[in-house]
A and B are shown apart, each in its own frame.
Chain A
């Protein structure tokens, strides 16, 4: 069951790499968030403590609902529908993603988490999520795509956090989730400013400061 959820995280990552529509990016990121929330809850189902319950619920609602909602409103506000022309095309992105997943699997076997009794896929999924997030940030030009990339990266770390028995203390996880929420808030404000100042939210225009 847990493996299935982890596979779903991987698949959503691949989907994120393949889509050009901003709205679908946001939805898939939201779906990934929900999957993670469920994953957090299920991973401790047998002896569910209140704090892990809160973390799982918070992850589900923040990552799966609140943040996507904020981003959807943002898309409406800035009227940016598509990732126009990314540095790396979508099919190529997907192929690279697949390759990266193979690499992540290999790396995960090289670096097994000692005494992990949950799933061998946790570390590969973490690494792959981080890779996907980074890849989104590097290869996309649309500011919202980059935000999604960051979220994906954070999701990867979350997988590691809750995917093993040795998760971080409650306050840390909640703090991290809150930080991400505020970060997206800051970003959405920034993107609105950008849209006003640059008449668009592609980062191609943001190359004046250099040298």
Chain B
């Protein structure tokens, strides 16, 4: 029981680090020194110390979204296995639950953005719902492929069954599913090529523009929640991509941690070498991701 709590605790502690690693990687590619690795933590600390400024237009929903976001992500963490280490809560269908928890988080963020009455935030919200409507089938399809492979649709047994041997026999399926999930990962976490978190032009943003009006503690909640979200989606991918099921707690945890760091570096590399897609190309990208998942399902 206690061991089952390790992974969630790990996530709570290390989640913001992923963003630090990405930024560091990008800085490395740009030849800069970049912000410190722990900069996300400093940011959080600073934000949590501040007061808040609210738009006169906003109301209850605007306040609710950040706090609920954190709660949702924390709940998601409880369903995540770690290598062969079972999740705290595991039941048939928990992966559907995770997808829908992330869904409501997005829904609330969108509502909060719309609450400000700002055209820019409306724009971001509009894009967010459109892209996520396409990302959701991809994700569920990919998970369905895995469920078929593992003959279970609960994450813990699924991860338990997808071992290195499965990689030997069913590499194409897993690779395709991972490719699909990776694109979903990028889209859901607002990374290049779907969104550019570093942009400074509101018209071109998706996620960032939606949280323009949040400040202080609320912004801290949002930043933390998005870090957790990145961890959640990332650990799904790593669970597949790093099939180490040793059964030794530390080894499993270590493998996941290393995998996530590698993923963060990979994202940093992608962001460094690619440009953001034009908005109208994003749906095509997501449909492409869906096609990856479908192929992954079909080839097994």
Judged by CB atoms under 8 Å, the answer to whether A and B touch is no
Residues of B at under 8 Å CB distance from A? none
A residues with CB within 8 A of B = none
